[in-house]
Amino acid sequence: MEHLDFGVKKVNRNYKLYYGSRIVSNVGDSFQEIAMIAMIACYLNSTYIAGLIVMFNAAIRVICSIFAINIVFHKKTKDVLAGLNILYGVITLLFFLAFHMSDSVPSFVLITYETLCSLIYTFYKIYQDVVIKEVCRKNEQIARLMTTDNIVSVMVSLVSTGLLLVLDIGSFLLLNSFSFFIAAFLIKMLKIEQDEVAVGKMSKCILKNITSFQKNYPYVYKILIVSSIISFFYASYNIVFQAALKYYAIKAEYIGVLTCLFYVFTIVLSYIAGFFKIKKREKVINIFLCIGVLGVIVSSFLSGIKYLLCIIVIYSIFGGGYNTFCQIIFQNEVEKKDIPKLKGIYNLFCGMTIMFSGFISPIMLKGLYIKLFEGIMMLLLILCIVVLNVRAPKYKGGSN
C-alpha cells in the first residue's frame, strides 16, 4: 500500500505496520468497551459495581503512574509491546471462556478482569508512545493515528448495533482477544532499535524525578499542568451534556445528532492539529485556550440546542485539537528515554483531576445552575493561560 487516506502520500514500512496494528487493536478495544457496558447493565444490573470498576481502574492507573515515573528507559520496546498485546489477548480469552461457561458473570470476576486490563493498559500506553517516537517521522502521522482512533470508535459503535443481531455480547470479547494477537504479530514485524533497560530504584524520591523532569523540559511540564486542569474540565463533558439535556428539556431525537456532531468535530480537529507548526507551539496552545474562554462566554448568552452546539464545539476543540497537538509536542520535544517518565507524570496529574472531576462535577451541577458551572470552567481556562505564559522558554526543537 503506497498511499494512506488523510492526504499523506508515502509512509515507511514501520509506520504502515504500526498503523495497522493500532487500528486492529482499537477495533478490539471498542468492541470490548461495548461488551463490558452491556455485561454490567444486563448481567449485574448494578451501578455500584460500575462505580467500583471506575474507582479501581483510576486507582490502578494512578499507582502505576507513580512507578512509571521511575522508569528511566526500556529494553526491547517492540518486544515488550508485543508481549503486552499477547498478555491482553490471553486474559481476554480466559474471560471469554469464563463468560461462556457460566449463565452469569460473578462480580468479582468482572472486577478482577477490568483491574488487570487497567494494570496492563497503563504500561501498554507508555511503551506505545515510545514506539510512536520510532515510527513517526512527521507530525501529521501522529495526528493521523489519533484521528483514526476516534474514527474507529465511532464506526465500531455503529457496526456493533448490526452485529448484535447475529452475535451474542460475549463474541465481542473473542473478537477483542484475536485483535490483540494480530496486533502483536504486526508489532513484532517492526524494525526499530532495541534499547537497553535502566529502571530507577523505587526508593528514589518520586518528587525528585518530577522536579528533574521539570528542569529538563520546563515548557512540556507546563503543558502537563495545563492538561491536568483541562482534564477536570473535559472529564465533565458527559455530565454537562446530560445536565443540559435535562435543564433545557431537549427532545431525545436530537441526542444522536448532537453526539454525532461531537465526534465529527473531534475527528476533524484532531487531524488538523497535525498541520500546526510546532515552532509556534505557545501561540497554538494559547489560541486553543482563548477559544475555550470565548466559547464559554458565548455559551452564557445561549440556550437550548444552540447552547449544546456551543458546548460540543468547545469540548471537541480540547478533545480533538488541543489533545492531539499536545501529544505532538511531547513526541517532538521529549527524548525517547524520558517518555515513560512523561507518561507517568501525565497519567498521575490528569488521573487525579479526572477522579476529582467525576466526584465533584455532579455535585456542583446539582447545586448550581449549569451556566454558573461553565463560569467556573472559564476561570480554570484562564488559570491555564496564566500558567502557560509565565516565563515560557523559546522553542529549541526540530524543524517541523
Which band of pLDDT confidence, cut at 50, 70 and 90, is reported for residue 366? low
Closest CA to 312 of 228, 229, 244: 244
Which cell goes with 210?
Answer: 518530577
Let me know: does 7 contact 271? Beta carbons within 8 Å.
Answer: no
Burial of 295 (0-12, 13-18, 19+ CB in 10 A): buried
Of residues 73 and 85, the one with the higher pLDDT is 85
Tell me the pLDDT of the chain averaged across its residues: 81
Global confidence as pTM: 0.80
Q: Does the pLDDT value for residue 399 go beyond 90?
A: no
Dihedral over alpha carbons 348, 346, 24, 37 (to 10 degrees) = 40
Q: Does the pLDDT value for residue 65 go beyond 50?
A: yes
pLDDT in tens, 213-238: 999 999 999 999 999 999 888 887 87
CATH of domain 206-388: 1.20.1250
In percent, the amount of the chain with pLDDT more than 70 equals 84
What pLDDT sits at residue 367? 55
pLDDT in tens, 289-324: 999 999 989 988 888 889 889 999 999 999 999 999
- The correct CATH number of 13-199 out of 1.10.3470, 3.90.550, 1.20.1250, 3.40.50 is 1.20.1250
Domain boundaries, the chain: 13-199, 206-388
User: Comparing 13-199 with 206-388, is the CATH topology the same?
Assistant: yes
Cell 517518565, residue located? 341
Q: Does the pLDDT value for residue 68 go beyond 90?
A: no
pLDDT in tens, 236-281: 787 788 778 877 888 877 777 888 888 889 999 999 999 998 888 9
Which of 180-184, 285-289, 320-324, 369-373 shows the lowest mean pLDDT across its residues? Answer: 369-373
* Spatial separation of the C-alpha atoms in residues 204 and 212, rounded to whole Å: 12
Could you give the residue ranges of the DSSP H alpha helices within 69-138?
77-100, 107-135
Which band of pLDDT confidence, cut at 50, 70 and 90, is reported for residue 5? very low
